[in-house]
């Protein structure tokens, strides 16, 4: 397409107006957001979404953005893409049919740009709006994606080569040092004018806006509080009085102070992670599979076939009205990251698993969403809820209000909601997550107060008995006293408590976080009759 009109100062001339019309026809034929595109005028700078009439008015009044010759954000492929597979339409515009670029970096950037406009619709007379920071970062990536790797290379752009290289580093488990050595080799071997990053730090900095990143939230060393929200400016814990900082040092000029925290929670925003699912048209369409693609014949093949899923939809019809809303399972467990069992260390990840997808995808590792990472030598035990505050805060907001999300499969925005239906833990982890007692004489959450247990004096172990209660009432084992300690069994099986009953049992409990600064564990004490079997409300 002839783009000489872009620099034409006579913006009311025939050539300029025809160029604007051709651009609008091209951009809206590749539009990802229905009836709106990013406005490339000099004031908007590809940062705001407008309809065709508004974009045309801006381009005539303010002029076309200088230097924006490759229209990556409006569907034009980069110069390095093979054009042999392009079709030519009636206006002479190249339309990609089957591009050689198998990873489609241009499409990735276009989808990211479409999903970053989360500010809602705004009026035409709002000149004070600042461009979205994410869109500015995407524009920089677009510039990098228009640069050839070196002057004679037509297959790879700088960005595409770097993303492929970082992907190989991840799959191969390369160290940062080995990656730096490889980049040095490439810079030495490639011709003059190559645009390869020189260090791993530079490479990460360049592609930073593609990823989601995480938030570092400082925590008390004894798990009393998070230095978050109202506690963000504190330098010591108000409960145990322990300092927040492990070390404090000044810069050489004495102007800056560097503080190193003792404990840091890494939180990956669950809102951003779930929004990213909808930036790919393939995964966005699969979030509706449980409603549109599932075989509904009464057989249990997927969590969506379970009575709990159906019961949840009946109780929350607003949530169930949109099949794109995400149903999650939350899983957690501690592990030693150093692979040496003689080194005592326990780090706890919190993982969210979306269950909207087909069974073949649900439990794949690529479908797991890491939501937070609890560091520390010891497990969080009863203080697990302290570290869940950020994700609980976001999930509550998503359940009640939703978050504005771009659906690439349909090309529209909607309010995305999410809810946790299940938790996946081992038995000690169940005690940490739910706050119930999972050890001692009343360790069974289902049997609760009616747990049948015996404390072995010599072995100092608790043995759980009374399993005949779960047999049907006429089973011969119930009447066989000789083989079962000389007792018959006529008691019915205990019924698990409902949520309302548990809430009533725990109404007087007050939750307090933190552990003994000396590291001593509380002594085991015998449970009093009627004492709640939960540590928190």
For residue 420, what are the contacts with CB-CB under 8 A and spacing of at least 6?
328, 329, 330, 352, 395
Average pLDDT rounded to a whole number, residues 270-284: 89
Judge whether residue 514 has pLDDT over 50: yes
Average pLDDT rounded to a whole number, residues 265-285: 90
Per the CB < 8 A criterion, the answer to whether 466 and 490 are in contact is: no
pTM of the model: 0.71
Average pLDDT rounded to a whole number, residues 432-448: 86
Computed on alpha carbons and rounded to an integer, the radius of gyration of the chain in Å comes to: 30
Q: What is the pLDDT of residue 469?
A: 92
Q: What is the pLDDT of residue 270?
A: 95
Backbone angles phi, psi at 491, to 5 degrees: -75, 145
Per the CB < 8 A criterion, the answer to whether 262 and 295 are in contact is: no
Judge whether residue 480 has pLDDT over 70: yes
Q: Position of tokens 């908007």?
A: 44
Per the CB < 8 A criterion, the answer to whether 40 and 69 are in contact is: no
First to last CA, the chain: 66
Q: What is the pLDDT of residue 373?
A: 94
Judge whether residue 419 has pLDDT over 90: yes
Average pLDDT, the chain: 82
Judge whether residue 100 has pLDDT over 70: no
User: How many whole angstroms separate alpha carbon 33 and alpha carbon 186?
Assistant: 39
Instruction: Extract the runs of DSSP E, i.e. beta strands, from 51-160.
Output: 86-88, 94-96
Per the CB < 8 A criterion, the answer to whether 81 and 174 are in contact is: no
Binned at pLDDT 50, 70 and 90, residue 85 comes out as very low
Backbone angles phi, psi at 481, to 5 degrees: -80, -30
Name the more confident of 400 and 15: 400
Which of 68-77, 386-395, 484-493 is predicted with the least confidence, judged by mean pLDDT?
68-77
Q: What is the pLDDT of residue 231?
A: 92
Distances (CA, A) of 281 to 116, 210, 231, 412: 15, 17, 41, 11
Average pLDDT rounded to a whole number, residues 318-337: 93
Buried b (16+ CB within 10 A) or exposed e, 276-297: bbbbbbebbbbbbbbeeeeeee
Q: What is the DSSP letter of 92?
A: S
Judge whether residue 390 has pLDDT over 90: yes
By CB atoms closer than 10 A (0-12, 13-18, 19+), residue 36 is buried
Instruction: Extract the runs of DSSP E, i.e. beta strands, from 253-409.
Output: 257-261, 264-267, 326-332, 348-354, 369-374, 403-407
For residue 396, what are the contacts with CB-CB under 8 A and spacing of at least 6?
none
């Amino acid at each position: 397409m002839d783009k000489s009109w872009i620099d034409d100062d006579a913006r009311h001339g025939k050539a300029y107006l025809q160029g604007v019309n051709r651009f609008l026809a091209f951009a809206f034929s590749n539009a990802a957001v229905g009836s709106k595109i990013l406005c490339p005028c000099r004031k908007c700078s590809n940062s705001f979404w407008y309809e065709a009439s508004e974009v045309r008015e801006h381009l005539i009044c303010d002029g076309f953005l200088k230097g924006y010759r490759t229209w990556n954000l409006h569907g034009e492929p980069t110069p390095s893409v093979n054009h042999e597979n392009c079709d030519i339409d009636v206006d002479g515009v190249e339309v990609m049919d089957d591009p050689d670029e198998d990873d489609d970096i241009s499409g990735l950037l276009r989808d990211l740009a479409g999903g970053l406009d989360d500010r809602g619709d705004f009026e035409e007379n709002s000149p004070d709006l600042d461009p979205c920071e994410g869109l500015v970062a995407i524009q920089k990536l677009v510039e990098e994606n228009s640069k050839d790797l070196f002057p004679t290379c037509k297959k790879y752009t700088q960005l595409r080569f770097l993303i492929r290289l970082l992907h190989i580093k991840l799959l191969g488990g390369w160290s940062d040092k080995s990656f730096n050595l490889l980049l040095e080799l490439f810079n030495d071997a490639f011709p003059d004018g190559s645009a390869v990053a020189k260090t791993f730090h530079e490479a990460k900095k360049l592609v930073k806006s593609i990823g989601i990143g995480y938030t570092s939230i400082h925590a008390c060393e004894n798990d009393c509080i998070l230095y978050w929200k109202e506690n963000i400016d504190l330098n010591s814990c108000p409960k145990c009085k322990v300092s927040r900082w492990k070390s404090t040092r000044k810069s050489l000029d004495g102007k800056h102070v560097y503080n190193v925290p003792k404990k840091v929670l890494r939180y990956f925003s669950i809102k951003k992670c779930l929004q990213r699912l909808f930036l790919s048209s393939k995964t966005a369409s699969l979030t509706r599979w449980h409603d549109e693609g599932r075989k509904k014949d009464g057989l249990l093949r997927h969590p969506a076939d379970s009575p709990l899923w159906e019961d949840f939809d009946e109780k929350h019809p607003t949530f169930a009205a949109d099949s794109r809303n995400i149903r999650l399972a939350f899983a957690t467990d501690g592990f030693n990251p150093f692979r040496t069992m003689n080194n005592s260390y326990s780090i706890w990840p919190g993982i969210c698993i979306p269950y909207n997808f087909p069974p073949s995808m649900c439990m794949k590792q690529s479908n797991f969403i890491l939501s937070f990472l609890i560091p520390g030598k010891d497990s969080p035990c009863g203080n697990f809820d302290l570290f869940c505050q950020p994700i609980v805060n976001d999930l509550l907001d998503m359940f009640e209000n939703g978050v504005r999300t771009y659906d690439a499969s349909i090309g529209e925005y909607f309010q995305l909601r999410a809810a946790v239906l299940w938790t996946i833990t081992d038995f000690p982890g169940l005690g940490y997550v739910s706050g119930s007692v999972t050890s001692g004489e009343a360790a069974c959450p289902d049997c609760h107060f009616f747990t049948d247990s015996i404390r072995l004096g010599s072995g100092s172990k608790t043995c759980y008995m009374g399993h005949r209660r779960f047999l049907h009432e006429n089973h011969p084992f119930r009447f066989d006293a000789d083989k079962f300690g000389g007792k018959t069994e006529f008691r019915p099986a205990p019924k698990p408590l409902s949520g309302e009953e548990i809430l009533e049992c725990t109404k007087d409990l007050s939750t307090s976080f933190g552990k003994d600064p000396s590291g001593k564990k509380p002594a085991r004490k015998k449970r009093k009759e009627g004492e709640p079997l939960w540590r928190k409300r």
